[in-house]
Amino acid sequence: MIMVSRVSPDAVAAVALTNQPVVFALALFVTLNVGATVIVSRAIGGGYSDEANRGGQVSFNLNLLIMLPMTIVFTVVSETILRFRSSLFAVRFRRGKWKTIKV
């Protein structure tokens, strides 16, 4: 946010507003990955390398299975999410310029 503060106060508000869903998604994936680390570590510690490989594969596939639909949904309904969250302005980068728009 420090870097966009030079653009305008609206840019700071837009970054702060759109950062919250990103942090939510990051928390979800970090939680899944910590669980996968526990499963893989216990399997490796017990000498079950096949189970460790399977745990890593399941973790990767689960992350992919959750991430792709989430990305598509957030991309398609991003303006609706901004409207729902009662934001007045958003900042878009189009044709090499930052533009403040009313949402």
Nearest CA among 95, 70, 78 for reference residue 18: 78
Please check whether residue 4 is in contact with residue 11, taking contact to mean a CB–CB distance below 8 angstroms: yes
What's the whole-model pTM score?
0.62
Q: What ranges do the domains of the chain cover?
A: 4-102
Phi, psi of 91, deg, nearest 5: -115, 130
In this predicted model, what pLDDT tens digit does every residue of 14-67 receive, in sequence order? 777 777 778 888 999 999 999 999 999 999 999 999 999 999 999 999 999 999
Token pair of 93 as six digits: 């980068």
How many CB atoms sit inside 10 A of residue 101's CB? 13
